[in-house]
Amino acid sequence: MASLVPHAAPMLLIDRILDADDNNMTAEVTIQPGSLFCDQNHGVPGYVGIEYIAQTVSAYSGWRAQKAKTEDREAKPKIGYLLGTRKMTMTVDAFKPGDRLEILVENIFEDGEMGVFEGTIRCHQRVIVSARVNVYQPDT
């Protein structure tokens, strides 16, 4: 994951990439009692799902950079920014230890440095978080 996302532990929150193509990426995180933001009584707050989606978008960007790597072009992950979200819905208040979350992001729109992604988080085949996120990745 470190080769795709420009975060270091403990802020690298997603565990692995399950699948990727030119427009989508699916990642996974398993909630552990020691996971960052995990409260022993409540688990990880559901709103942290937006960060799981954002980090999957970041991994998608890093995956595309590696795929497009050439001898004269660097393939290390670039810093990007989550600008905001629209239509975020959550059907759970928290993710519990043992929950295996599947995070899917779909590239809806890109225009140079700006992008829009549809993100969903599933647990036990059920969508529990969805959001459309706006991101910015400077071309520097």
- Residue 67 φ/ψ, nearest 5 degrees: -65, -35
Which residue's structure tokens are 């399950």?
A: 18
> Strand, coil or helix: what is 4?
coil
With a CB cutoff of 8 Å and minimum separation 6, the contacts of 54 are 82, 133, 135
Is residue 69 domain-resident?
yes
User: Of 38 and 4, which is predicted with more confidence?
Assistant: 38
CB atoms < 10 A from the CB of 33, how many? Answer: 11
Q: CATH number for the domain including 89?
A: 3.10.129.10
Q: Six-digit token pair at 9?
A: 């532990």
Q: Residue 104 has what pLDDT?
A: 98
Is residue 5 domain-resident?
no
CB distance 109 to 116 below 8 Å? yes
CA distances from 58 to 46, 54, 98 (A): 20, 6, 24
The least confident of 11-15, 57-61, 116-120 is 11-15
CB distance 120 to 130 below 8 Å? yes
pTM, entire model: 0.90
Is residue 11 domain-resident?
no
Is residue 21 domain-resident?
yes
Confidence grade of residue 140 (pLDDT, cut at 50, 70, 90)? low
| Structural domain count, the chain | 1
Q: Which whole number is the average pLDDT over 103-116?
A: 94
CA distances from 29 to 41, 52, 127 (A): 19, 8, 15
Average pLDDT, the chain: 89
Q: Six-digit token pair at 83?
A: 């600008």
What domain range is 61 assigned to?
Answer: 16-136
Is residue 122 domain-resident?
yes
Q: Is the pLDDT of residue 30 over 80?
A: yes
Smallest CA-to-CA distance from 59 within 88, 21, 98, 17 is with: 17
Q: State pLDDT tens for residues 32-84.
A: 999 999 998 899 999 999 999 999 999 998 898 888 775 445 566 678 889 99
Cα 126 to its chain centre, rounded Å, is 18
